[in-house]
Amino acid sequence: MADAIASTLLGVIFQKLTDEVLKKFARAQKIHSELDELQTTLRRIQALLNDASRKEISDESVGLWLNSLRHLAYDIDDVLDDVATKAMHHELTHGSGAITGKVRKLIVPTCCKKFSLSHRLRPKLDGINKKLQNLENQKGDLGLIVTHEKQKNTNRGNETSLPELDVVGREREKEKLINKLLESDESSKENFRIVPIVGMGGIGKTTLARLLYNDTKVKGGFELCAWVCVSDDFDISKITKTIYHALPGEPKEFQDLNQLQGALKEKIKDKQFLLVVDDVWNENYDDWEILVRPFHSCAPRSRIIITTRKEQLLKKLGFDHLDHLESLSNKDALSLLALHALGVDHFDSHPRLRPKGEGILGKCGGLPLALKVIGRLLRTKEDEEDWDDVLNSEIWNLENSKEIVPALRLSYNDLSIDLKQLFAYCSLFPKDFLFDKEELVLLWMAEGYLNQSHTNKPPEHLGHEYFDKLLSRSFFQHAPDNESFFMMHDLINDLAKLVAGEYFLRLEKHTEIMDKALAKYHHMSFIREEYVGFQKFEAFERAKSLRTFLSVYVGVEQSKDTFYLSNKILDDVISRLLLLRVLSLSHFNITEVPEFIGNLKHLRYLNLSKTNIEVIPESVGSLYNLQTLILFGCNNLTQLPKSFTKLKKLRHFNIKDTPLLKKLPMGIGELRSLRTLSKIIIGGEAAFAITELKGLENLYGELSIEGLHNVQSARHAYEVNLSQRSLTKLELKWDDGSQRGSLVTEILNELKPNADTLKSLRIKLYAGIKFPCWVGDPSFHQLGFVSIHGCRKCTSLPPLWQLPSLKKLSIRDMDEVKVICMTVPFPSLEILWFDSMAGWEVWSTNNEVLDVVFPCLRYLCINNCPKLSDVSLDTLPLLRLLGIYGCGVGVLRSVVCSASSITSLNIAFIGGLTDEVWRGVTKYLEEVEKVCLISCDEIRYLWESEAEISKVLVNLKKLSVKYCDNLLSLGEKEEEEEDHFGCNFLSSLVTLSIRNCKKIERCCCPNNIERLKIKDCESLSHLSFSTMTTQEGAQKLKLFELEDCENLMEKIDNIGIPMLEDVYIYRWTNLKSIIQLGNFIHLTCMMIEQCPSIETFPYVQLSTLNLLEFLVIRNCPNMDPSFPCGLWPPNLAYLGIGGLKKPMLDWGHQNFPSSLVNLMLVGDEEDVSSFNQLSHLLPSSLSQLRIFSFDKLESVSMGLQHLTSLQHLEIRDCPKITHLPEETVLSSLLSLRIAGCPKLEKRCNGRGSHYWPRISHIPKIQFNYRYVVV
């Protein structure tokens, strides 16, 4: 590998040495002779690299020689980069004229005025030349000779465009597993079953799982599907989060695992769910039990596919006999090899190659990954001699072949020097990491790996070609559940780590950093975790040669994810890494870009996306080498520096989703190297003008043009010539709709994009009366998404039905559109939104012309269209999800009558929706599974009788009713039916939620109800559960949530509800007792808060609840004075407690279980002034402590010192507190939250405060719910 690094670095060095600006600068500094000598010696050494590359495999001394060269090459590149940067600085500040002695004085660094630059550089260069000479002199002893690399033949097919080829030889296994996935579970008591795929690495477990996951028959058998890669780090919280975000719905943040798993349970509740858990290594049964806890809420016949090399976990799960995935048969293996090597699954057209293929097959051992990789290698070979070289390679016999499959090593060894380096760089990516092609190419470019010395292609183009070659050779593969991302097989990842050697460091959880190795590290990545503390990076202050500081995330990253970085990492570590080329700190809670950023002169790639920064400092203008700046999703960013225009090498600038950034600096149009510019803002005087785009000839990708109302002439828009740019996404935005007349239409007409590349189009606040003809033109054959928003003067829609690939369409705020009449079908449209169409009255289709206008429509939403009354649509055969809000009842009736396949219905603010009308609507909802009604105030009863409703909503699983002010009961005849109240006859209903229905008085739940939520129903007085005890009729309730129902007089009775898992009771004023808990053997979470009347609580039975992990009992001042008494659930992990009748000082030792890691103590009127009084209540197992509402508490300086595992501390509403814990406790904290503690906050907040030196290292510091700017 050292040869690849050295060769790539030498290419970069030669490129710099031939740069005219650097050469001119060197002559002026009188160091040109040293550089000439350097170049000459390097050329001679470069000629030895091909021979050294071949010999390092078997000759350790050659490997050591290459390592020495590599280290020296890094040093040379650093020195030259420093010289080139100074030359560039001079070029920018003094122009390109001759550098005179007078000018030389101007450029002497201020930090060293006694000596000229040449006096400092010449000794360095002399030392480097001596070391190079010494390396060259060793060639004789090492037997190195000048050779030329054999030209690699790639005539057999275009390897950069090879498709993913079919799987061979797994038909029997596939069919067997499909049967297991789809067979019924009549005899099973569990809702889900595990289907394992076991086998050695590279045998094809993931490939087979992917075949199953993507199979049409399998997909059709499940309502929800998700895929998660696990690998070595079995982080339950991260895995659960990945699964949650892989499912449909809005991203959310969660405080803890319990809350996260509760949300996941809600998502998959009563749905047949297929989950693939890929690459499991962890064999801990308890970890697995915690992970799968939410899946018990799935519908029966759900499945979890596990792929693993380990058997122990599966045996613990009850699998006595496991069917291992075996190696391919010789016949299938030979077919697979031929398929990847020749493009067909046989050797019929190449009989002379068959014996050689059989020989190679014997060395691969029937391992599909090895066959695939070696086949892709052979695809680049045309001669029999080349196949012989592969067959007889000495790599098959290497001693370390057990660690790395020889076929993979051989394929790597066949790569060109450039590809070897690019592949080795990917060793920075952890296993199962999903990477984006564009981003990886930008990283390669930043490291200098895309050498253009032998081509005129842009480096990005070159990078894409290299990427495609590695993909075609199976070093990369598409992510299983997301074709737009890529990943590496675990064995390929191992290979990358091996060949990268000692220069690349992947900092993972248990990585040990050796001080002596710090000087060798040039590239470092680390996995982004929620909290990143200083201790992890403290040693890197001494890693002076580091070029790469890259944060990566394993899993599905969401826009709301926030991570916290200790400010000391910025101030004490990154500020000293002056040789950095790549710095990525995306998603961290960074609020300010430090001024020292301008000192990182070598920086090429800076990623601060999704941070909280507001301003980019002027010092950024000193980053003359910067090629990529990513500020995507910086929601608080308001200002770019004036010095920004000095970034002449900037090629990629991403400021997408920066809503507060309203102005760009003048002169950005002079940055002629720009190739992507996600957003431009056209201003008035002294601001960016649209004509500046004219000079940015190479723009491609995504572009948003804001402020189009400031364009004064259509000619200016014409000069931009967007039709010649390869844009894939375009947004055109006027700010206020004030630009009128023909000018606005002419401007939009001249901004026509390239029809061959455009995939997404947004038009906002356009003030024309009609759209130019290009909007909706069928020549835009790739256009899949269109959004037209705020075009209030337009009287009609453009002919969007002409777009053959249009799948998503959003129409919003078009006030003058009165009639929409469809005469031509939308052939591909799947999702359609109409929003705030104030004047829209008629929506129809021409029945005589069309049979189906929307043959593919699956989701329809109509919101706030108050005048729409005449709706006549033909059938909507595939419509599944319907949402109608703020419209007349006629809209609801008409659409429902046109669609018989609706499974989810959401309605709100529907005028005229009476009981009678609603019952007429329900007749068309036989397929509906989910109904949500919000603010439908004319409804009093959802149905009349059991006989009526049992004929219609037969598939209803989830019913949610909110803010229906006049709802009295679910069923009109509920009181007459003594035995069957409310919805007792809805046999499929499992989830019922009623919220803010002020007049509802009664609610009775059937036996099949599993989730019941009632909130803010002040008139509710009667809540009943069935008490049938037969096995068929036993109560199935698993979740019970009750909040703010002040007139409810009933007590909780467990009779008939043995399956209860989660209980949340909040402000149930009249609750006086809970009879018993002993029968709640499935209980995992219980919260009882602000119930002032409760007196009886069976606390003794808590110790029998083995599954209860989350318990909160607070603000119940009349609860039994004997509680707490030291009896707790044996596996309790979270406890929130306080505000009880028994004073906290009288609790004594509580014998908390060792599983307790999270404790919240609520003081209220407790007579506690120092936490030393309560230290006996704090088990040493705690990692998180919350101290709330201690009115008399003054200090926590004592009492916490034994909490050696404490990482999170929160203190809230303790007005007298002034002291924090000792420094030994603070040093390990990852988060500190203080709120409602004015005296303590004053001593903590700000760099000059008393406690600041002791807490400034903490990644997350929050005062009064606001993050501290550090």
Given this model, what pLDDT does residue 877 score?
Answer: 92
Residue 805 DSSP SS3: coil
Cα separation, 904 vs 529, in Å, equals 37
Given this model, what pLDDT does residue 110 score?
Answer: 44
- Bridge-based pairing of strands 1208-1212 and 760-764 is unpaired
The DSSP annotation for 310-367 comes to --HHHHHTT-SS--BPPPPPHHHHHHHHHHHHHSSSS-TT-GGGHHHHHHHHHHHTT-
**Among 1119, 1146, 1150, 1145, which Cα is nearest to 1135's?**
1150
**Among 419, 438, 416, 551, which Cα is nearest to 486's?**
438
Cα separation, 70 vs 97, in Å, equals 36
Tokens 């979470």, residue located = 1085
**1066-1092 pLDDT, tens per residue?**
999 988 888 778 788 889 999 999 999
Given this model, what pLDDT does residue 166 score?
Answer: 64
Given this model, what pLDDT does residue 1235 score?
Answer: 95
Q: Which of 143-147, 520-524, 545-549 has the lowest mean pLDDT?
A: 143-147
Residues 6+ apart with CB under 8 A from 1130: 1103, 1106, 1153, 1155
**290-309 pLDDT, tens per residue?**
888 888 888 888 999 999 98
Give buried/exposed letters for 1149-1185 (b at 16+ CB in 10 A, else e): ebebbeebbbbbbbbbebebebbebbeebbbebbebb
pTM of the predicted protein model = 0.89
Residue 1031's pLDDT band, with cuts at 50, 70 and 90, is very low
Instruction: Check: CB of residue 1111 under 8 Å from CB of residue 1086.
Output: yes
**356-382 pLDDT, tens per residue?**
988 988 888 788 999 999 988 888 887
SS3 string, 964-1026, reads CCCCCEEECCCCCCCCCCCCCCCCCCCEEEEECCCCCCEEEECCCCCEEEEECCCCCCEEEEC
Instruction: Check: CB of residue 903 under 8 Å from CB of residue 930.
Output: yes
Residue 475, amino acid: F
Q: Which of 318-322, 846-850, 1124-1128 has the lowest mean pLDDT?
A: 846-850
**759-818 pLDDT, tens per residue?**
999 999 999 999 999 999 999 999 999 999 999 999 999 999 999 999 999 999 999 999
- Segment 866-872 mean pLDDT: 92
**225-257 pLDDT, tens per residue?**
999 888 777 888 888 888 888 888 777 777 778
Question: How many other C-beta atoms lie within 10 A of the C-beta of residue 329?
Answer: 12
**710-768 pLDDT, tens per residue?**
998 999 999 999 999 999 999 999 987 666 678 999 999 999 999 999 999 999 999 99
Cα separation, 34 vs 26, in Å, equals 9
Cα separation, 885 vs 932, in Å, equals 11
Residue 1218, amino acid: T
Give buried/exposed letters for 882-920 (b at 16+ CB in 10 A, else e): bbbbbbbbbbbbbbbbbbeebbbbbbbbbeebebebbbe
The CATH code that applies to domain 327-414 is 1.10.8
Instruction: Check: CB of residue 662 under 8 Å from CB of residue 639.
Output: no
CA 742 to chain CA centroid, Å, is 44
Percent of the chain scoring above 70 in pLDDT: 91
Q: Containing H/E element for 444?
A: helix 437-446
Cα separation, 794 vs 778, in Å, equals 21
Count Cβ atoms within 10 A of the Cβ of residue 458 and give its class: 0-12 exposed, 13-18 middle, 19 or more buried.
middle
- Cis before 1124 (ω within 30): yes
**334-348 pLDDT, tens per residue?**
999 999 988 898 999
Cα separation, 807 vs 86, in Å, equals 52
Q: Containing H/E element for 573?
A: none
Tokens encoding 1232: 């500190």
Q: Phi/psi class of residue 530: alpha, beta or left (left: φ > 0; alpha: ψ in -120 to 50)?
A: alpha
Cα separation, 344 vs 334, in Å, equals 11
Q: Which residues pair with 195 in a beta bridge?
A: 305
Residue 631, amino acid: L
Instruction: Check: CB of residue 381 under 8 Å from CB of residue 156.
Output: yes
Residue 315's pLDDT band, with cuts at 50, 70 and 90, is confident
Tokens encoding 70: 């590599």
The secondary structure of residue 371, as a DSSP letter, is H
Whether the predicted pLDDT of 457 surpasses 80: yes
When comparing pLDDT for 827 and 973, which is higher? 827
Given this model, what pLDDT does residue 7 score?
Answer: 79
Given this model, what pLDDT does residue 847 score?
Answer: 56
CA distances (Å), origin 459, targets 78, 142, 447, 454? 21, 36, 12, 11
Tokens encoding 1116: 């119940």
CA 308 to chain CA centroid, Å, is 24
Count Cβ atoms within 10 A of the Cβ of residue 686 and give its class: 0-12 exposed, 13-18 middle, 19 or more buried.
exposed
Given this model, what pLDDT does residue 848 score?
Answer: 60
Given this model, what pLDDT does residue 1269 score?
Answer: 55
Cα separation, 802 vs 782, in Å, equals 12
Residue 98's pLDDT band, with cuts at 50, 70 and 90, is very low
Whether the predicted pLDDT of 1270 surpasses 90: no
**Among 814, 848, 854, which Cα is nearest to 830's?**
854
The domain segmentation of the chain, as residue ranges, is 2-142, 174-316, 327-414
Instruction: Check: CB of residue 786 under 8 Å from CB of residue 812.
Output: no
Residue 611, amino acid: T
In CATH terms, 174-316 corresponds, of 1.10.10.10, 3.40.50.300, 3.40.120.10, 3.30.70.60, to 3.40.50.300
Cα separation, 59 vs 57, in Å, equals 6
When comparing pLDDT for 28 and 118, which is higher? 28
Q: Which of 507-521, 670-684, 872-886 has the lowest mean pLDDT?
A: 507-521
CA 609 to chain CA centroid, Å, is 13
- Segment 415-435 mean pLDDT: 93
The secondary structure of residue 572, as a DSSP letter, is I
Given this model, what pLDDT does residue 1033 score?
Answer: 41
Question: How many other C-beta atoms lie within 10 A of the C-beta of residue 1032?
Answer: 6
CA distances (Å), origin 569, targets 575, 583, 1206, 1249? 8, 13, 21, 21
Whether the predicted pLDDT of 318 surpasses 90: no
User: Phi/psi at 1175 (nearest 5 deg)?
Assistant: -60, -25
Given this model, what pLDDT does residue 947 score?
Answer: 60
**Among 782, 838, 791, which Cα is nearest to 810's?**
791
Q: What is the mean pLDDT of the chain?
A: 87
Tokens encoding 235: 């982080």
**562-591 pLDDT, tens per residue?**
899 999 999 999 999 999 999 999 999 999
Q: How many residues does the chain have?
A: 1270
**1107-1151 pLDDT, tens per residue?**
999 999 999 999 989 999 999 999 999 999 999 999 999 999 999
Q: Which residues pair with 1232 in a beta bridge?
A: 1209, 1261
Tokens encoding 174: 């596939």
CA 890 to chain CA centroid, Å, is 42
Residue 560's pLDDT band, with cuts at 50, 70 and 90, is low
